[in-house]
C-alpha cells in the first residue's frame, strides 16, 4: 500500500494546494449558503446547483493546480436508469463525478444528513442514505430507495468498498452492490478512476496531471451471482491498475503513482 506521507510535494505543489484549499472551501460555502433557497425549490433546480458546483471546482482545480479531467467510455452509460459500480479513492469523487451523469442518486452513509447545509442538501438531492449499523434493515431500505430512483430514470451510483481506498491497495468489496444488481434488474456499468493519485485521501496536496474516469462496458441484468461479481470486480480492478500505470509513465507523475504501481504489481 502506498504511503501518502512520502515522497513529499515540491514547493509549487504546496503553494498551489493551499490556494486551492482556501478557494475550494470559500466557493463551497458560498454555494451552500447562497443556494440555501434551493432547499425549498424543485429538486431538479437543486441538482443543477450541485452540478454547477462540481463543474466550478473541477475547473478551479485545473486552473490553480494544473489537474485536468479526462472522461472515457461515456458511450457505455445508457440514457435510462442504471446501476453504476464505482471505484472510490478521493474526496474529489464526491463533486467531480456529478456532472458526468444525467441525474445521479449516490449511495451515502446516513449520518451525513446531520451536517448543516451539506447534509440537508443530500436529503434534497434524494441521494440514498444508508444506516450501516442496521445491516438487514439498511439493505431493505437501500433496495427500496434504489428501485424508486431507477423508476424515474436516475443513475444509482454505489461505491462498493464503502470508503476511499489508497490507489493500488487490495480491494475490499462489500456484498451490498450484488443485492442491488439482483433486485434492480437493470444494466450495470463498472467505473474505474485514478483520482486518489492527484487528490490523495487525508492530504492537503493536489498534484498536476490528469484525473481519468473510465466507464467500462456494461453488464446485462440476470447474470449468475458469482459470474457478475467476478466480472465487475475484475473489470474495475484491472482498469484501475492500468490507469495507475499510465499515470506513473507520465513525464511528471504524482508521487503515489509509482508507489501504487509497485504495490499492485
| 169-192 pLDDT, tens digit each | 999 999 899 999 999 999 999 999
Task: Count CB atoms within 10 A of the CB of residue 18.
Answer: 14
Q: Judge whether 90 and 200 are in contact, CB under 8 Å.
A: yes
Residue 3 has pLDDT above 50, yes or no: no
**C-alpha triplet 16, 165, 249: angle, nearest 5°:** 60
Higher pLDDT, 162 or 191: 191
What fold does the segment set 12-263 form as a domain?
Answer: Glycerol-3-phosphate (1)-acyltransferase (3.40.1130)
Compute the distance between CA of residue 131 and CA of residue 261 in angstroms, rounded to an integer: 35
Give tens-digit pLDDT for 88-132.
999 999 999 999 999 999 999 888 888 888 888 999 999 999 887
Q: Judge whether 106 and 213 are in contact, CB under 8 Å.
A: no
In sequence order, the 6+-apart residues with CB closer than 8 A to the CB of 238 are none
Which pLDDT belongs to residue 110? 86
- Kindly indicate the confidence band of residue 1, based on its pLDDT and cuts at 50, 70 and 90: very low
**What is the share, in percent, of the chain residues with pLDDT greater than 70?**
94
Which pLDDT belongs to residue 208? 96
Which pLDDT belongs to residue 2? 39
- Residue 136 C-alpha cell reads as 438487514
Task: Count CB atoms within 10 A of the CB of residue 245.
Answer: 16
Q: Judge whether 125 and 103 are in contact, CB under 8 Å.
A: no
Which pLDDT belongs to residue 265? 54
Give the strand pairing for 155-158 and 104-109.
parallel
Q: Judge whether 166 and 89 are in contact, CB under 8 Å.
A: yes
Residue 4 has pLDDT above 90, yes or no: no
Which pLDDT belongs to residue 124? 93
- Write down the pTM of the prediction: 0.90
Residues in the chain: 265
Residue among 255, 61, 249, 228 nearest 167 (CA):
255
Which pLDDT belongs to residue 71? 97
Residue 259 has pLDDT above 80, yes or no: no
What are the backbone dihedrals phi and psi of residue 3, each rounded to the nearest 5 degrees, phi first? -105, 115
Which pLDDT belongs to residue 111? 84
Residue 9 has pLDDT above 70, yes or no: yes
Give the strand pairing for 155-158 and 209-215.
unpaired
Amino acid at each position: 500500500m502506498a504511503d501518502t506521507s512520502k515522497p513529499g510535494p515540491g514547493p509549487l505543489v504546496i503553494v498551489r494546494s493551499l490556494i486551492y484549499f482556501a478557494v475550494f472551501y470559500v466557493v463551497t460555502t458560498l454555494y451552500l449558503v447562497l443556494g440555501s433557497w434551493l432547499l425549498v425549490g424543485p429538486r431538479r433546480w437543486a441538482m443543477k446547483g450541485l452540478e454547477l458546483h462540481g463543474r466550478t471546482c473541477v475547473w478551479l482545480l485545473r486552473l490553480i493546480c494544473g489537474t485536468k479531467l479526462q472522461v472515457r467510455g461515456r458511450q457505455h452509460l445508457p440514457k435510462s436508469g442504471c446501476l453504476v459500480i464505482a471505484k472510490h479513492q478521493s474526496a474529489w469523487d464526491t463533486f467531480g463525478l456529478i456532472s458526468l451523469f444525467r441525474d445521479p442518486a449516490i449511495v451515502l452513509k446516513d449520518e451525513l444528513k446531520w451536517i448543516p447545509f451539506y447534509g440537508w442538501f443530500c436529503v434534497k438531492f434524494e441521494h440514498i442514505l444508508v444506516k450501516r449499523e442496521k445491516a438487514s434493515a439498511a439493505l431493505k431500505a437501500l433496495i427500496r430507495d434504489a428501485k424508486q430512483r431507477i423508476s424515474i430514470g436516475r443513475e444509482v451510483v454505489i461505491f462498493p468498498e464503502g470508503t476511499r481506498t489508497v490507489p493500488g491497495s487490495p480491494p475490499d468489496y462489500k456484498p451490498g452492490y450484488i443485492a442491488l444488481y439482483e433486485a434492480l434488474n437493470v444494466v450495470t456499468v463498472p467505473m474505474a478512476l485514478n483520482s486518489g493519485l492527484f487528490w490523495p485521501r487525508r492530504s492537503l496536496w493536489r498534484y498536476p496531471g490528469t484525473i481519468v474516469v473510465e466507464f467500462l462496458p456494461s453488464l446485462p441484468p440476470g447474470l449468475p451471482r458469482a459470474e457478475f461479481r467476478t466480472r465487475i470486480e475484475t473489470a474495475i480492478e484491472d482498469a484501475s491498475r492500468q490507469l495507475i500505470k499510465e499515470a506513473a509513465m507520465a513525464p511528471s507523475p504524482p508521487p503515489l503513482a509509482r508507489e501504487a504501481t509497485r504495490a499492485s504489481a
